[in-house]
Amino acid sequence: MDALAGHASRIPFRDRIAVADYGLNSGQPRFHIVNVEMGAIEESYLVSHGRGSDPENTGLVQHFSNRPGSNASSSGSFLTANTYVGKHGKSRRLEGLDEENDLAWDRAIVIHGAEYVDGAMAETQGRVGRSLGCFAFERGKIAEVLERLGPGRLLYSTK
């Protein structure tokens, strides 16, 4: 909520926010869409983290980075932007609002679907696959995530 208040002038829609809790293992639903008005989580999803954040593929984020080429996830506040169709299908761009993620747009850190994020994989391996720093979701859930977390909303990433 502090991030939402701190970036109020940049976040036009405050009804819903997302929180990526990278303190949890990737085999657990750790991306939460929160209804701000009700003060309740609407839905939680599996989400990847970057390879550079977990070089040994443990399922846990070891560190964040904002450096281009790091293939790591970034922490902090993001503004959800427009959708586009790219190599991962329909995706949503993100603008980093903090010093620790202000290169997100240039690094092409986005929300997208991916085969390597899968509930069955989470159950059998205890983790999902890793991205190049993007917030990747199950293919069967990405349309729902994009709909619930439309443009002009806060996504907060933390550990």
CB 54 within 8 A of CB 159: no
Q: Measure the CA–CA gap between 144 and 152, rounded to whole angstroms.
A: 16
Q: Which domain holds residue 24?
A: 2-158
Single out the residue of 72, 82, 80, 86 nearest to residue 130, CA to CA.
72
Q: What is the pTM of this model?
A: 0.97
Pairwise CA distance, residues 32 & 156, whole Å: 10
DSSP class of 52: G
CB 74 within 8 A of CB 106: no
* 71 Ramachandran zone, left/alpha/beta (phi>0; psi -120 to 50): left
DSSP-based three-state secondary structure for 146: helix
Indicate the residue type of 79.
L
Query: In tens digits, what is the pLDDT along the chain, a chain of 159 residues?
Result: 999 999 999 999 999 999 999 999 999 999 999 999 999 999 999 999 999 999 999 999 999 999 999 999 999 999 999 999 999 999 999 999 999 999 999 999 999 999 999 999 999 999 999 999 999 999 999 999 999 999 999 999 999
Give me the CATH number covering residue 21.
2.40.440.10
Q: For the chain, what is the domain count? A: 1
The residue whose two tokens read 């159950």 is 123
